[in-house]
Every structure is written in C-alpha cells, then in structure tokens.
Amino acid sequence: MSAMLETGGRLKALGNLNKTVFGALLSGILAVLFMLSVYVPVLGAVMMFFCPVPIVLMHVRFRDAKYTFLVVLVSSTLIGIFAGPLSAVAFFLGLGLQGISLGGALASGRSAGFAIVACALVILASTILSMFTIDRLMGVNLSMDKMVETFNAEVVKLKTAEIEALKKAGTPADQIAEREKYYDQIIVMIKAMPVFFPMSLFMASLISAFINYKAAAEVLRRLNFEAPALPDFATWKLSWVYLWGLIIGLFLVNTFDAKAPGLAGYLNLAGKNINLAFFFAFFINGLAVTHHFFKLYAVNTALRIFLYAMIMLHPLFNSLVLVTGVLDPWFDVRKLEREPGGDDNQLTKEV
C-alpha cells in the first residue's frame, strides 16, 4: 500500500521528544493559535484553519488516541484559564474534535476524500452541539426564528437609511427602485434561511473541512510526511447516477405542499435541501470542467481570477457553470474517459 503514510526525517526528529514533552509543546501552541484566531481580526481568520494541525501532528506521529485526547484537554484547560470557560468549551467541541477526527483519518491511511467527509461530519455535529450548549449555558436564543428576525431587522434598517440618503441626494427614481428591489431580494433570502439551513450548514462544514485538510496536509508535507493528495481539480467528475438526486428532490418539491401540515410539509422541506445539495455538487463539477479548459488553453492567473469572480457574482455565468456540471456526466465534456493513459494521472473514475 504505497499510499500509506510514511514518516519523514523531520517529523521523526520531532518525535525524538517523548510523548509528554511533545504533547505539552503542542498544547501550548494550540492555545496560542486559538487565542490569535479569536483576538486578531484578519490573521485570526487564517489561524482558525491551522488550529487542528498540532492535534493532527500529535496523532500521526504517535498514533495514540489517549495522548491525542490529552493534548486537546490540556489545551482546553489553558484556553479556559486565559479566555474563560466558554472559550474552552467552544475549542473542545469545535477545533479539538476536528483535529482528532482528521488526525485519526490520516494516521489510518484513509483517502483524502474520506478524511474530509469525516471531518465535515464532526464539524457539523460539533456546531450543532455548540449552539445547543451556548443556548443552555448563556440563555442566548439561537433558534432560526430569532436569527431570521434579527437579520431581517438589520437589513430593513440598512434599506431605510440608504433609500433616505439617496432621496436626499436627488438620485433618480429608477435607481432608487433598483436598490429597493435589491434589499427586497435579500429579505426574501433571509426568510428562506430556515428552509435551507440543514444543507447549508453541512456544505459550510464540508468547505471548512476541506480547508482544514489542505492546511494540515501542507504542514505535514513540509515535515516530509506524505498525506494522501486530492486529485487534480480539473479531473473531478460526478457520475450520471447523481442526477437521480436532483430528480428525487424536484419530485418531492413539486409533489408535496410546503404549507401542508405533517409529513407532506417535511417532505417538501427535504426536497428543497436535497436540491440545494445536488445543485452545489453539480456546480462544483461545472467549475472543474471550467478549470480544465482554463488549463488546456493556458489562461493566465489574472484572467482566471477575474473569470472566477464573474462566475461567483453574475447569475448568468454561475447558471452556465451549473448547466455544464449537469450535462458533463452524460456528454463527458472533457473526454476524460477516452483519453489514453488517463488512469495514471487523472480522475477517470467517476465519483
């Protein structure tokens, strides 16, 4: 099993320290990283994704779950001393469990995809548990109804202030109407938050797990530790089987009334979340196709950034990418399955 993880010289050198000393060192680093992520505005956002890395290092070097858990516990205690018990709980339930799951997957020689999905599920569970804990310990209402009410009030406040400012400035009526329409669309999206919250939370967890994995893999690589690599993004491809997910979701949405009581309403809600999940998956598939052609025609970096920004921001372009992602499983737009020798360097097998 050539893909199995092998420890390199630098990581082995770190391991010359005994478990206790190495664990104590990493616990201190973890506490500092977490404090930076909380109190340093811009750098903190980056540090947040590197917080699980020391836990991963501990586990892949010694492969001892007891000591890995002890590192998380000691780090949580240090954070509790300096930042308070709520910060300690937030660290333990969030970043601590993420690091343990990611380290366990890497140490066992699992694939990159497995490690990311496992970490995403842990992030999802820890997020829900953290919300419940904060709600109980602090009496903060984190229900979706309260969030929608709060966000909606803020948007209405912004809308009122901007429209009044535009009117005072003598802005043409048609431009004012456009801004009102823009804010009305945001309000509609906010009201739809409870409907799409379950799948949105999972997708956010998946993205976070992906970034955590890339950060951990990069640090491990610099320590000569071979983490399983993700295939080239240009070769990512979904199977046509995933189209059944879209069909099932559309069937549920169009068959059952969202306002109906009981099971029918829940089935409609499930259909909307299923659609969101598969639209997201096929959009990523479409981005992979786009990236393939960017590489094929050697599009320079500056132009790529501009085009990706247009795809993310303009409805026409992101719709085209989504349609491309849906069609690709049927028509093999990149001809990955017919390229000779593709199995050696491309993801010719469908996901």
Q: Which is more confidently placed, 41 or 35?
A: 35
Spell out a b/e string for 149-166, using b for 16 or more CB atoms within 10 Å of the CB, else e.
eebeeebeeebeeebeeb
The CA angle 148-150-155, to the nearest 5 degrees, is: 90
Task: Please return the burial class of 9, using the count of CB atoms within 10 Å of its CB with bins 0-12, 13-18 and 19+.
Answer: exposed
Residue for token pair 């050539």: 2
Sequence letter at residue 348: T
The 8-class DSSP code of residue 91 comes to: H
Q: How far is CA 349 from CA 23, 119, 134, 252, 338, in A?
A: 41, 24, 44, 30, 11
Confidence of residue 37 (pLDDT cuts 50, 70, 90): confident
CA 22 to CA 14: how far, in whole Å? 8
Quote the mean pLDDT of the chain: 83
Confidence of residue 223 (pLDDT cuts 50, 70, 90): confident
Residues above pLDDT 70, as percent of the chain: 87
Give residue limits of the domains in the chain.
9-138, 144-190, 232-345
Mean pLDDT confidence for 157-172: 87
- Cβ neighbors of 27 (< 8 A, separation 6 or more) are 54, 71, 74, 75, 78
Confidence of residue 221 (pLDDT cuts 50, 70, 90): confident
- Cβ neighbors of 239 (< 8 A, separation 6 or more) are 329, 350, 351
- 26: closest CA among 103, 90, 117, 87? 103
**Model pTM score:** 0.73
Length, in residues, of the chain = 351
Confidence of residue 10 (pLDDT cuts 50, 70, 90): low
The 8-class DSSP code of residue 164 comes to: H
Residues above pLDDT 90, as percent of the chain: 28
Mean pLDDT confidence for 25-36: 89
Residue 55: in which H helix or E strand, if any?
helix 53-62
Neighbours of 243 (CB within 10 A): 15
Sequence letter at residue 301: T
The 8-class DSSP code of residue 93 comes to: I
pLDDT of residue 342: 44
Please answer whether residues 180 and 163 qualify as being in contact, where contact means their C-beta atoms are separated by less than 8 angstroms: yes
Please answer whether residues 285 and 239 qualify as being in contact, where contact means their C-beta atoms are separated by less than 8 angstroms: no
pLDDT of residue 140: 55
3-state secondary structure of 283: helix
Token duo for residue 234: 């240009």
Tell me the per-residue pLDDT of 13-24, one tens digit each, with 9 for 90 and over. Answer: 555 567 888 888
Using N-to-C axis directions, what is the helix angle for 97-107 and 193-222, rounded to 10°? 50
Token duo for residue 232: 């080239």
Token duo for residue 158: 């912004």
Please answer whether residues 142 and 136 qualify as being in contact, where contact means their C-beta atoms are separated by less than 8 angstroms: no
Q: How far is CA 252 from CA 240, 266, 336, in A?
A: 20, 10, 33
Please answer whether residues 253 and 276 qualify as being in contact, where contact means their C-beta atoms are separated by less than 8 angstroms: no
DSSP for 123-138 reads HHHHHHHHHHHHHHHH
Tell me the per-residue pLDDT of 269-303, one tens digit each, with 9 for 90 and over. Answer: 889 889 988 999 999 999 999 999 999 999 999 99
Tell me the per-residue pLDDT of 165-198, one tens digit each, with 9 for 90 and over. Answer: 888 888 888 888 888 888 888 888 777 777 777 7
Classify the C-alpha dihedral 258-261-263-264 as positive or negative. Answer: negative
